[in-house]
Chains A and B, each alone.
Chain A
Amino acid sequence: MAAEAETFTLLPLHLDPSTKAVSSSSSTTTSAALTTELTALNLLHRSLLSLDTPNGVPPPPVPVNPKRSAQIGKLRETGNTSFRKGAHADAIRMYSLGIDMALGRPGWEPSGLVREEVSGLYANRAQAHMALQQWAEGAVDAECSVEMKRVGNAKGWWRRGRCLFEMGRLEEAREWVGQALEFEAGEQDLVGLMREVEAALERRARQ
């Protein structure tokens, strides 16, 4: 029945005295939701333990720990340098490390920042994949980039459009670029790509 303000359902929980990990003591009645929740709880607990704030309480989101940001920035720079030198595989590896690091930020750090970083890194990795003509990976990465940041991400939009076009998925490309133009109206690259896609579609229709 309803969880009233003063009552709660007692769950069969058990705390390991040495590891302080919470687990369910009766293995037969444990629901899947409880198990996943307890895993998440133990994970969070461990990340809380590594904090060095006075009360052991997560700090407010706003002043961000600059160490991780600097590392992510460095990985991106290294990736960019490799890309410019033509070492695309190395660039992809660097960007991937950066993405893992950005996604590995503790949960209480601002999500807007994570979006910004991850979007940039995915866009760059998409470009590296495109340079290697790995259109499928490039398309997925560019989609990720756009998903994280829709506005002001013309490069991300364009890259997925280009990848779809190169894979011959012209209808999808037209739809995608059309969507992109709603966000980034008048972006020259996108308009140009749209024209290319339309022309290719027409050519296909005539054949």
Chain B
Amino acid sequence: MVNWLSLVVPFAYLTILLGSLYTFSHLYRARKLSKAASLEPWFPPHLQRNIYLTLLHLDPSESGEGGPSKVPDSVLKAALLRRATEDIHRVLQVQNAKPALQSLLQRGSVGDDLWQRFLRAEKEIQEEIKDVVAEANAFAPGWGQLIFQTANEMAQNALLRKRVEEIQAQVTAEKEWWEKKKAGIQADFMKELDEDSKATQAVPTTGRGSDDDAVLVEGGGPTAAQQQGSMKKRKKGKN
């Protein structure tokens, strides 16, 4: 009996100590988590994911009276594919940013906040991929293994087409520029011919005139004028 009583004090001490330690660590972690959560997310809102989930939860009753108003599977599949494609972009961004960010962090060039944001984005994208794979498998068995392959090609193809479009968009401007320049060169060439023929008649004033022309031509380059000139001749020869 006496033993028990004398043990109460150390036990109480231990309980209070451990309890306070636990409380402190719990509070500390909770605060850290909430601080991390309050940081700005790395990526903007995932539009494709929102669309997919909205379609999934679209209430049949509100989108029409009776009839098969449930969203068909094909639409959901398309939405899931769009979502997977966006995920590919994000995974690539995360992969590219990681080594650079790590070395910057080691050197102390970026703050810890940025690193926290990045880690959270990384975790989110991993969850996101798992989720997409699960959803894909629910639509068709085995699609989970393929969907990211498909999505990757789609992302690459989209990039490629954008690039081609960008380059091809220059064509009208380039063409206009060249037409203008060609006209200029032709005019210069004709003038030169005129000057030449006049020069053979030895008119002193045109001598100065051709000097001015030489200055004018400099923008396009006299070699180009010669080139074009010889080409024109060739062309005429062919015709």
A interface list, Cβ under 8 A from B: 1-3, 5, 8-11, 13-15, 17, 20, 22, 33-34, 37-38, 40-42, 44-45, 48-49, 55-58, 60-61, 103, 105, 107-111, 114-115, 118, 133-137, 139-140, 143-144, 147-148, 166-168, 170, 200, 203-204, 207
Contact = CB atoms under 8 A, between A and B. Distances in A.
B45 interface: yes
Contact of B63 (A15, A42, A137): A15
Interface stretch (B5-13, B22-30, B76-84, B190-198): B76-84
Contacts of B50: 3, 8-11
B82 to A, nearest CB: 5
A8 B128 CA distance: 12
Given A115-B160, A143-B167, 13 more contacts: A5-B127, A8-B54, A42-B78, A56-B74, A57-B139, A61-B153, A103-B164, A109-B157, A111-B159, A137-B171, A140-B171, A147-B167, A207-B223
Contacts of A48: 74, 77-78, 81
Interface string B105-142: 00000000000000010001001000100000001100
B164 A144 contact: yes
Interface string B143-174: 10010011001101111110110011011001
A10 B50 CA distance: 7
Given A2-B41, A10-B54, A44-B78, A170 B221 contact: yes
Contacts, number: 175
B51 A107 contact: no
Interface residues of B, number: 71
A14 B59 CA distance: 10
A3 B47 contact: no
Contacts of A1: 41
B81 to A, nearest CB: 6
A148 B82 contact: no
B153 A167 contact: no
Which 4 residue pairs of A and B lie closest in terms of their CB atoms, listed nearest first?
A168-B224, A55-B140, A111-B156, A107-B154
A148 B160 contact: yes
A100 to B, nearest CB: 11
Contact of A139 (B120, B174, B224): B174
B208 interface: no
Q: Pick from A9, A48, A136 the residue with the most CB of B within 10 Å.
A: A136
B159 to A, nearest CB: 8
Given A5-B131, A41-B51, A57-B139, A140 B170 contact: yes
Nearest to B158: A107
Contacts of A204: 221-223
B178 A135 contact: yes
B74 A114 contact: no
Which of B154, B177, B235 has the largest number of chain A CB atoms within 10 A?
B154
